[in-house]
Copies of this chain bind each other. A is one copy, B any other.
Amino acid sequence: MTTSPLPFHVQHLQKPDGRDLTLYGLQPVQLDSEVPSPSPDPVDARPVMRWHPLRGEWVMYASHRLGRTFLPPPEYNPLAPTSDPAHPTELPRGTYDIAVFDNRFPSLTLGAPVPPAPAHALNTEERAATGKCEVVVFSQNASGRLSDLSDDQMALLLGVWADRTSVLAATGKIRSVLAFENRGVEVGVTLHHPHGQIYAYDHVPPVQATMLAQAQKHRAESGEPWLAAFVKAERDSAVRVIRDEGLGLSVVPPFARYTYETWVLPSRPVGLLSELDDAEKRAFARVLKDALQRLDSLFGVRMPYLMTVHQAPVGDAATADFPLHIEIYPYLRAPGRLKYLAGTEQGAGEFANDKFPEMAAHELREVKVENL
């Protein structure tokens, strides 16, 4: 296992329409063209949030979003470096590995204005949807997958997610950062260039709030961090471990909600990616890449999935005990059979799963990884 340092290079830029662009590279970043934007018009986002009084959660409204990019013709890829200046994309030509820029159709913005008083009675609380929505382009290779990144690039991505979290926390307006990748036409993905997104909230959303409360309760009752206890028990049991790289491991959790749900965890209980040292990031990156490769090889098709990176709250909401981990929800429960969220999942908040996690983990361990 290498423990060489993981240096990376950063360049902060601004698009012609005012949006932020940050380029990250394993080598020094170099630009070979102007910084482009698909449209010169500044983003006029006025997202608002309304309170759902029965579910106790915020709902984001951004009426400009309906016109957003949707399955564009194959010749135009807004996430590729601009090759024809007459048809600018989101990214310049140059030397860089990963690019992060502000979403042109954000559900949350740092400058969201206070909504005007409506002409009608509103019947719930409404406020500015303060936060930030970013796009993370994983690679300049338009037809690749996240798991096609080199080990170094995958470790760089962990560093990028960590850096974005720190940058967003430093605004003083952000309390929780969620990085995710949604992949597959089956689940509505409109751009096939490998990319993910970041949602940064000015509050701690329900899922993170629940996870934090549950982990704090565990610590109060047992005296040890939830993540440490969980990793130890999974290693002792062994039946649900997919791959163990020492400093990081992957498991099908014993309470998996999706059939082949895969969690990637660090061995050491921390709350933020930025707390991992370079060796831990490298091990975590190898395990993540391995997990994604296994899911693609399981049925011999590129597995549609949602991957979410769960980190501790930041800023004023920062707290110990939140278990850093990545959750991958593969949408195929069998060849050709998608999992849909129906009555019990959406109406009651409880999942029904067709297969025991021990069996799913066994299948994932046995997979022969093929290049798809």
A234 to B213, CA, bound (A): 35
Considering the chains assembled together, what is the distance between the CA atoms of A350 and B47 in angstroms?
14
**A2 on the B face (CB < 8 A):** no
Are A226 and B53 in contact, with the CB atoms below 8 A?
yes
Within 79-128 of A, Cβ neighbours of B (below 8 Å) are at 107, 118, 120-124
Partner of A50, one of B254, B310, B348: B254
Residue of B nearest to A209 (CB): B349
Q: Which residues of A contact B (CB under 8 A)?
A: 50-63, 65-66, 70, 107, 118, 120-124, 176, 178, 180-182, 187-188, 197, 199, 201, 205-208, 210-211, 213-215, 218, 226, 230, 233-234, 236-240, 254-257, 306, 308, 310, 323, 327, 329, 333-334, 337-344, 346-356, 358-359
The closest CB in chain B to the CB of A198 belongs to: B343
Evaluate whether A124 and B350 lie within 8 angstroms (CB atoms) in the complex, with A61-B356, A199-B344, A356-B61 already known. Answer: no
Copies of the protein in its oligomer: 2
Chain B residues near A201 (CB, 8 Å)? 348, 350
When the two chains form their complex, are residues A308 and B121 in contact, meaning their CB atoms are under 8 A apart?
no
Within the assembled complex, what's the spacing in Å between the Cα atoms of A354 and B70?
Answer: 14
**A62 close to B354 (CB less than 8 A):** yes
| Least distance between A283 CB and chain B CB atoms (Å) | 22
Known: A55-B210, A57-B349. 12 other contacts (CB 8 A): A52-B255, A55-B211, A61-B355, A63-B356, A65-B354, A118-B358, A120-B237, A121-B233, A180-B347, A201-B348, A205-B349, A306-B346
* A323 nearest in chain B by CB position: B54
Separation of A354 and B201 alpha carbons in the complex (Å): 18
How far apart are the CA atoms of A199 and B323 in the complex, in Å? 32
- CB of A308 within 8 A of CB of B347, answer yes
Query: Does A60 lie within 8 Å of B353, measured CB to CB?
Result: yes
Residues of B near A230 (CB, < 8 A) are 53, 123
Asked if B120 and A57 sit within 8 Å, CB to CB, the answer is: no
Residues in B with CB closer than 8 Å to A120 are 237-239, 358
Q: Which of chain B's residues has its CB closest to A234's CB?
A: B123
The answer to whether A255 and B124 touch (CB under 8 A), given A56-B214, A63-B356, A342-B182, is yes
B residues near A66, Cβ cutoff 8 Å: 333-334, 354-355
Q: When the two chains form the complex, which single residue of B58, B239, B310, B351 contacts A350, counting CB atoms closer than 8 Å?
A: B58
Please report the C-alpha to C-alpha distance between residue A354 and residue B59 in the assembled complex, in whole angstroms.
11
Task: Quote the shortest CB–CB distance from A119 to chain B (angstroms).
Answer: 8
B107 touches A306 (CB 8 A): no
- Given contacts A197-B343, A350-B59, is CB(A51)–CB(B255) below 8 Å? yes
CB distance from A183 to the nearest CB of B (A): 10
In the bound assembly, the distance between CA atoms of A63 and B356 in angstroms comes to 7
